[in-house]
């Protein structure tokens, strides 16, 4: 698995799209810091970009890599190698290369700007952690879709629909439910519904870490009461970890049963 991971990682690192992805975050971080001297505001702006763009890139890269390397995967399957090692190696190669591009791209301008000597260091670390989790989660979800769908067009369609549902549609349904049942106590419902969407969970974690939950009104107070505590923080990070592990487990289970 480590050999396949190494090959996939270096294959993607040499890809021009990895450099484009790195250069995008490098340019974005540099421009934000050049236009704004407040590191906290720069982190807030990055949050609005990362919680939407990172899942999209992870989904697209994951499904593109699987379909483009299908012939190579079939060659590996003909060798005395465990299926789980093949698919886990490929998945980790994609996810880690994307995470490395993101961390390096955002790290260079912020380190040069003196983030380690700033009070916003923990906000910045929280941003990187949540962005890495989102990359791992949506890359794994993309691999699940690709393994389950032989047709490439359908696979791409399902992947984009998944991202669209998590990033946009889910919030619309969530807010509609809150409006329709506003007369009932919905605090527990709001917390549970948030845990079922890694994008929303990541966004709230960053907002609360930046201490601007007051802008969210009553809902922000509820989230602050739960997520603002150490227990809430560990629970939310644990949920993100479960979101990352569950699709990986399904990749292993699906690959062992699927007839290639």
Determine the Cα–Cα distance for residues 59 and 51; give it in Å rounded to an integer. Answer: 13
Per-residue confidence (pLDDT) for residue 174, from 0 to 100: 79
pLDDT at 215: 45
Instruction: Encode 40-73 in three state secondary structure.
Output: HHHHHHHHHHHHHHHHHHHHHHHHHHHHHCHHHH
Nearest to 38 by CA among 200, 203, 205, 212: 212
Alpha helices in 69-151 (DSSP H): 70-77, 83-112, 121-148
Q: Answer for the pair 165, 155: CB distance below 8 angstroms, yes or no.
A: no
List of the chain residues with pLDDT < 50: 214-219
The reported pLDDT for the residue numbered 243 is 92
| CB contact burial 149-160 (16+ within 10 A = b; e otherwise) | beeeeebbebbe
- C-alpha–C-alpha distance, residues 153 and 92, integer Å: 24
Give the integer Cα–Cα distance in Å for 146 and 34.
40
Map out the domains of the chain as residue ranges.
2-257
CA dist list (Å): 200 to 42, 88, 223, 236: 20, 27, 12, 11
What is the spatial distance between Cα 248 and Cα 88, in angstroms, rounded to a whole number? 8
Give me the count of residues in the chain: 260
pLDDT, residue 168, reads: 86
How far apart CA 65 and CA 167 sit, in angstroms, is: 22
| pLDDT the model gives residue 218 | 45
- Residue 94 near residue 12, CB atoms below 8 Å: yes
pLDDT of residue 221: 53
Instruction: Note whether 216 and 175 are within 8 A (CB).
Output: no
């Amino acid at each position: 698995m480590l050999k396949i991971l190494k090959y996939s990682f270096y294959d993607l690192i040499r890809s021009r799209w990895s450099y484009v992805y790195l250069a995008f975050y490098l340019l974005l971080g540099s421009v934000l810091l050049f236009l704004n001297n407040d590191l906290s505001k720069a982190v807030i702006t990055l949050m609005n970009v990362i919680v939407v763009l990172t899942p999209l890139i992870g989904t697209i890269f994951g499904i593109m890599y699987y379909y483009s390397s299908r012939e190579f995967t079939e060659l590996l399957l003909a060798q005395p190698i465990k299926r789980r090692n093949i698919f886990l190696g490929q998945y980790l190669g994609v996810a880690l290369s994307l995470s490395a591009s993101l961390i390096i791209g955002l790290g260079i301008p912020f380190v040069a700007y003196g983030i380690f000597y700033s009070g916003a260091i923990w906000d910045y670390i929280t941003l990187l952690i949540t962005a890495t989790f989102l990359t791992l989660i949506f890359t794994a979800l993309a691999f699940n879709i690709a393994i389950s769908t032989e047709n490439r067009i359908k696979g791409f369609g399902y992947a984009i629909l998944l991202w669209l549902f998590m990033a946009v549609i889910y919030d619309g349904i969530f807010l509609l439910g809150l409006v329709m049942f506003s007369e009932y106590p919905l605090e527990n419902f709001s917390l549970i519904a948030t845990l079922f969407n890694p994008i929303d969970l990541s966004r709230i974690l960053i907002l609360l870490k930046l201490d601007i939950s007051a802008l969210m009104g009553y809902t922000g107070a509820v989230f602050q009461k739960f997520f603002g505590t150490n227990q809430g923080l560990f629970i939310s990070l644990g949920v993100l970890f479960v979101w990352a592990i569950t699709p990986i487990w399904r990749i292993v289970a699906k690959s062992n049963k699927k007839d290639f």
